[in-house]
A = this chain, B = another copy of it.
Amino acid sequence: MTETEKKEGIKSTSTQSVEQQTRKASINFIVKDKSFEKFAMMMILGTTGDAMDTKMNFFFTFWGLNLLKKNFKPKVAGMPAPMKGMAANMFKKRMKKFGIEDPWAMIKDAVDSGNMKLYPCQMTMDLMGIKREDLLDWVEDPVGAASFLEMSNGGQIVSL
């Protein structure tokens, strides 16, 4: 990269209008796994984003959609099979020590404040035969990939 290119790169970002900047603020996550790790990342990022007043949309696709099912218990992926469930409980206990008493209640707070939104993937629901009533009542209505890309327009996309 030459010096000129670098300077121009900086210029290009500096001309963006205030409107552009506002739309930039959203962070849009793809959640594709059902592991406890992904659940915890979603919870920590979403609630931290809420505290920072940053809009965060989470799009749950493939196995990730399981995380929005009523009473679903995520297991720790990075553990040998027999310990996956136990490890999740262990993490939950340790999290309590750090003030995370009820992760879902914290997520719901962030959702209620309007900063965090949880979107089920419509195609995943169709492919896996999952019905709206299988999912938590307070998540958004299902959307497709096109809607996700549209809402992400101008913001960030992060595939967790």
Contacts and interface: CB of A to CB of B under 8 A. Distances in A.
Interface string A115-159: 000000001001100000000000000001110011001101111
SS class, residues of chain A in contact with chain B: helix
A113 B34 CA distance: 35
A78 interface: yes
A44 B123 contact: yes
A34 B48 CA distance: 24
Interface in A3-45: 5-6, 8-18, 20-22, 24-25, 27, 30, 32-34, 37, 40-41, 44-45
Contact of A157 (B11, B22, B48, B156): B156
Nearest to A29: B159
**What is the oligomeric copy number?**
3
A108 to B, nearest CB: 19
A63 interface: yes
A126 B158 CA distance: 25
Interface residues of A, number: 58
Contacts of A27: 157
13 contacts: A1-B150, A9-B25, A12-B15, A13-B25, A13-B154, A14-B18, A17-B18, A24-B154, A27-B157, A37-B63, A51-B146, A52-B149, A91-B127
